């Protein structure tokens, strides 16, 4: 653990409470509010439930956000927001809607397209003046407390992260009620995504003490509650614990970034259709095993804190947990074949900044071997 020097900066005001999304009018800046969500959250009334509580405000909805949101959706949403002179953007959903909201809240007052600022674009956002509020509806992404968005870059045909100091939200509103209707499969995959955030912050080559403690707390909460939240969707205690765990893991990885698990998830989502959580969790046991290469002592300590005899026991335990949640644990269950592995390896290694934070050798041979071990 690096005790000699570290920096921690997480400027998002967090509000937590059951039912608090029903009345957020005091949080709104100006009179023109845009709620950004996916079609499902609009059709089922969740987005309107938030909008209806904003008495006296003009509420607009953009409900076309897709999983792995595209740069095209970001630009379309920004145009809609500019046309309606939006003063507060509320991102409601899993990572996709919150990530789009981060960029849109900047594009309202900065000209042009997302491409002018991202993926080689040379412009820099002006200081954001539109208020940004993020409301997670899954207990997984942690996007509400990070300054990162991940987008499908339509021009390049790949998923790419976008990190920007203007993306820290003004506030994150955490309401466990938002997760009560999540289907079990989504509870499982998003919950394991949160576990990945925590363990990747912990074993990260840029880990820092504050984040280690947050990460350990998040992992314990997830291991203690995910099966209950999965089997009993209405168990409010388990739901509350899971969304706190996701938030806590989010704060941890907001400082460290993620590692090889997330780097390899990009090709598995864009090319094999796995949800983000599944695409991450499937390599979690294998990365846990290789983490001993450079973080042996620290990982041994973690394994024992979490109730396992050693790191291999932890890796086996995580795999068993995923099986109990009916999640795939082999790449062939996602349709991946042996001949796909070199390509997945290359795309994963392309996310070099993340990959290099893994506490193990991460060259082509090592990643190919890791993938073969779980084919
Ligand atoms: Fe993630």
Q: Is the pTM of this model over 0.85?
A: yes
Helix H, strand E, coil C: the string for 221-232 is: HHHHHHHHHHHC
State pLDDT tens for residues 49-64. 999 999 999 999 999 9
As its CATH architecture, domain 182-373 has: Up-down Bundle (1.20)
Ligand 1 center to 23 CA (angstroms): 29
For the beta carbon of residue 202, count every other beta carbon within 10 angstroms: 27
Ligand 1 center to 262 CA (angstroms): 6
Ligand 1 center to 1 CA (angstroms): 24
**Which residues have a Cβ under 8 Å from the Cβ of 136 and sit 6 or more positions away?**
93, 94, 98, 142, 143, 144, 172, 174, 178, 243, 246, 247
132 burial (CB, 10 Å; 0-12 / 13-18 / 19+) is buried
Looking at residue 261, what is its pLDDT?
Answer: 98
Ligand 1 center to 52 CA (angstroms): 31
**Which residues have a Cβ under 8 Å from the Cβ of 52 and sit 6 or more positions away?**
none
Q: How far apart are CA 280 and CA 33, in angstroms?
A: 34
State pLDDT tens for residues 35-51. 999 999 999 999 999 99
Q: How far apart are CA 56 and CA 215, in angstroms?
A: 41
Q: Which strands, in side-by-side order, build the sheet including 171-174?
A: 13-16, 171-174, 131-136, 88-93, 32-36, 58-62
223-230: average pLDDT: 98
- φ/ψ (deg, to 5) at 289: -65, -45
Q: How far apart are CA 222 and CA 245, in angstroms?
A: 6
Percent of the chain topping pLDDT 70: 99
Ligand 1 center to 198 CA (angstroms): 10
Ligand 1 center to 97 CA (angstroms): 14
Mean pLDDT, the chain, rounded, equals 96
Looking at residue 2, what is its pLDDT?
Answer: 58
Ligand 1 center to 265 CA (angstroms): 9
Residue 96 has pLDDT above 80, yes or no: yes
220-229: average pLDDT: 98
Ligand 1 center to 343 CA (angstroms): 21
Q: Does domain 13-178 have CATH number 3.40.50.1970?
A: yes
Ligand 1 center to 95 CA (angstroms): 8
Residue 334 has pLDDT above 70, yes or no: yes
Are 226 and 275 in contact by the 8 Å Cβ rule? The answer is no
Q: How far apart are CA 109 and CA 246, in angstroms?
A: 31
The confidence band for 33, taking pLDDT boundaries of 50, 70 and 90, is: very high
Taking alpha carbons only, the member of 293, 297, 277, 146 closest to residue 222 is 277
Looking at residue 1, what is its pLDDT?
Answer: 54
**Which residues have a Cβ under 8 Å from the Cβ of 226 and sit 6 or more positions away?**
187, 188, 191, 192, 195, 238, 242, 321, 325
Ligand 1 center to 185 CA (angstroms): 16
Per DSSP, what are the bridge partners of residue 213?
Answer: none
Are 172 and 144 in contact by the 8 Å Cβ rule? The answer is yes
Looking at residue 223, what is its pLDDT?
Answer: 98
State pLDDT tens for residues 297-331. 999 999 999 999 999 999 999 999 999 999 999 99
State pLDDT tens for residues 115-165. 999 999 999 999 999 999 999 999 999 999 999 999 999 999 888 899 999
Burial 204-219 (b: 16+ CB within 10 A, else e): beebbeebbebbbbbb
State pLDDT tens for residues 198-216. 999 999 999 999 999 999 9
Looking at residue 4, what is its pLDDT?
Answer: 78
- 28: alpha, beta or left, given left = phi > 0 and alpha = psi -120 to 50? beta
State pLDDT tens for residues 268-289. 998 999 999 999 999 999 999 9
Ligand 1 center to 11 CA (angstroms): 20
Ligand 1 center to 193 CA (angstroms): 5
Domain positions in the chain: 13-178, 182-373
Ligand 1 center to 85 CA (angstroms): 32
Ligand 1 center to 8 CA (angstroms): 20
Helix H, strand E, coil C: the string for the chain is: CCCCCCCCCCCCEEEECCCHHHCCHHHCCCCEEEEECCHHHHHCCHHHHHHHCCCCCEEEEECCCCCCCEHHHHHHHHHHHHHCCCCEEEEEECHHHHHHHHHHHHHCCCCCCHHHCCCCCCCCCCCCCCEEEEEECCCCCCHHHCCEEEEEECCCCEEEEEECHHHCCCEEEECHHHHCCCCHHHHHHHHHHHHHHHHHHHHCCCCCHHHHHHHHHHHHHHHHHHHHHHHCCCCHHHHHHHHHHHHHHHHHHHHHCCCHHHHHHHHHHHHHCCCHHHHHHCCHHHHHHHCHHHHHHHHHHHHHHCCCCCHHHHHHHHHHHHHHCCCCCCHHHHCCCHHHHHHHHHHHHHCHHHHCCCCCCCCHHHHHHHHHHCC
């Amino acid at each position: 653990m690096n005790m000699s020097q570290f920096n921690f900066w997480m400027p998002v005001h967090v509000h937590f409470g059951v039912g608090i999304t029903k009345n957020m009018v005091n949080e709104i800046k100006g009179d023109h509010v845009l709620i950004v969500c996916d079609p499902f959250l609009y059709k089922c009334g969740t987005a309107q439930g938030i909008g209806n509580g904003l008495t006296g405000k003009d509420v607009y909805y953009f409900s076309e956000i897709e999983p792995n949101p595209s740069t095209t959706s970001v630009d379309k949403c920004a145009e809609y927001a500019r046309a309606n002179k939006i003063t507060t953007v509320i991102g409601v959903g899993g990572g996709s809607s919150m990530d789009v909201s981060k960029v849109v809240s900047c594009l309202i007052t900065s000209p042009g397209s997302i491409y002018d600022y991202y993926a080689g674009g040379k412009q820099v956002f002006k200081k954001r003046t539109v208020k940004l509020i993020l409301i997670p509806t899954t207990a997984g992404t942690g996007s509400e407390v990070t300054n990162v968005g991940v987008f499908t870059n339509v021009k390049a045909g790949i998923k790419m992260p976008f990190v920007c100091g203007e993306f820290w939200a003004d506030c994150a509103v955490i309401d466990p009620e938002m997760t009560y209707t999540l289907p079990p499969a989504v509870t499982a995959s998003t919950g394991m995504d949160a576990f990945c955030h925590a363990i990747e912050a912990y074993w990260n080559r840029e880990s820092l003490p504050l984040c280690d403690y947050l990460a350990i707390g998040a992992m314990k909460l997830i291991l203690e509650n995910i099966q209950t939240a999965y089997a009993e969707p209405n168990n409010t205690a388990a739901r509350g614990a899971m969304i706190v765990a996701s938030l806590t893991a989010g704060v941890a990885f907001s400082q460290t970034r993620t590692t090889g698990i997330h780097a390899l998830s990009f090709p598995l989502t864009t090319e094999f259709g796995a949800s983000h959580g599944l695409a991450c969790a499937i390599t979690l046991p294998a990365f846990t095993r290789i983490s001993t290469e450079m973080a042996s002592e620290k990982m041994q300590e973690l394994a024992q804190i979490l109730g396992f005899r050693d790191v291999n026991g932890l890796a086996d335990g995580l795999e068993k947990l995923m099986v109990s949640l009916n999640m795939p644990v082999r790449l062939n269950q996602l349709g991946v074949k042996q001949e796909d592995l070199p390509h997945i390896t290359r795309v994963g290694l392309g996310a070099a900044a993340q990959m290099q934070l893994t506490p193990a050798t991460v060259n082509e041979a090592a990643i190919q071997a890791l993938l073969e071990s779980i084919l």
